[in-house]
Structure 1
Amino acid sequence: MKRLAPALLATVFIAAAPPTFSQVAGHAALGVSVTELDAIIQGVSVKKQVLGKPVYNEANQKVGNVQDLIVTPENAVSFAIVGAGGFVGVGRHDVAIPVNQFKYEQGKIVLPGATKDAIKALPEFKYERQEKPAKA
């Protein structure tokens, strides 16, 4: 059983090979080091392996789908937004669940002890509405 570590859920925007030259913007180096690249290669693709994918319990029952990932101000993927119930998004109940509660087993996202009813009993997650700045 492999736990989904927050670092493994980070979105990756790099090429498969390390750059052959130093990438610099101003005084800050861009890109990743060879050591970081090794960690990235062993990670999980959010786009391909997490977002929109079903979440199962340990009894292999589907309990929801991963709708989103929340990155905290400390730059850590800390919560997964899981939607349960509903049909085509209508009537879906979204909840925030800490990523350290998930496991990644045999290509499946597993949330031990979860049921659809247990997820629906959690407080619903709603995105904070951002005020649009007034036009000048």
Structure 2
Amino acid sequence: MKLKVLVATAAAPILATVAYAQTPPAPTTPSTTPSAAAPAPATTSTTDAASAPQWYAHQQGEWRTSKLVGSKVKNNAGDTIGDINEIILANDGSAAAAVIGVGGFLGMGEHQVAVQFKSLKIDRDSNGNDVVKLDTTKDALKAAPEWTWQSS
């Protein structure tokens, strides 16, 4: 049994080499009958100026959503009332809402609530860390309607 495995293992590279060693078929001679002229290559661009990407440069006071997701949300008293689970974008690309997880333990039993993004106050503390505030209480968030994704 060990001999068969050893022979099969040794033969695999040899068989693969045989496939590379095959010679390609001989080229055919060109026909003497005239053929139709090949179409000329297209000279017009397929991308329209209106659909070209619009490049963007960083503006002062912007926030990265990747840094906001997972951030603790605090109320005006400084109490942690939840954390941002998602940022929902509107059709025009603006931030429409933030889904905040409230309560639960390690994500189990967490109540998710969507709040309008403009209701969040986002700032940086003296150490440069993001600070997200929402003028409400943890109990008010727990009592709010639960956010669920609509399947389409």
Q: Distance in 1 between matches of 2:80 and 2:63?
A: 21
One-letter identity of the residue aligned with 2:81: V
TM-superposed deviation, 1:75: 2.4
In structure 2, the partner of 1:128 is 150
Task: Name the CA distance, whole Å, in 1 between partners of 2:72 and 2:87.
Answer: 14
Mapped pair 1:76 → 2:94? yes
Unpaired runs of at least 5, structure 1:
1-23, 131-136
Q: Which runs of 5+ in 2 are unaligned?
A: 1-44
* 1:77 shift after superposition: 1.1
**The one of 133, 138, 142 aligned to 1:116:** 138
Residues 41-56 of structure 1: matches in 2 within 5 Å? 42-48=61-67, 50-56=68-74
Identity of aligned residues (%): 28
More strand by share: 1
Structure 1 distance, partners of 2:54, 2:62, is 17
**RMSD value over aligned CA atoms?**
1.9
Summarize the Cα distance change of 1:90–1:30 in structure 2 as closer, same or farther, 3 Å threshold.
Answer: same
Which runs of at least 4 in structure 1 moved beyond 6 Å after TM superposition?
none
Report the AA paired with residue 116 of structure 2.
P
Alpha-carbon distance change, 25 to 56 in structure 1, aligned in 2, over 3 angstroms = farther
Greater helix fraction, Structure 1 or Structure 2: 2
Q: Determine the C-alpha separation between the residues in 1 that align with 2:114 and 2:58.
A: 30
* Map of 1:26 onto structure 2: 47
**Secondary structure of the structure 2 residue equivalent to 1:37:** coil
Q: 1:30 to 1:51 in 2, by over 3 A?
A: same
Deviation at 1:76, TM superposition (A): 1.9
TM-score (normalised: structure 2): 0.60
Higher relative contact order (CA 8 A, sep 6+): 1
Q: Which structure has the larger Rg over C-alpha atoms?
A: 2
Query: Normalising by the residue count of structure 1, what TM-score does the alignment of the two structures yield?
Result: 0.67
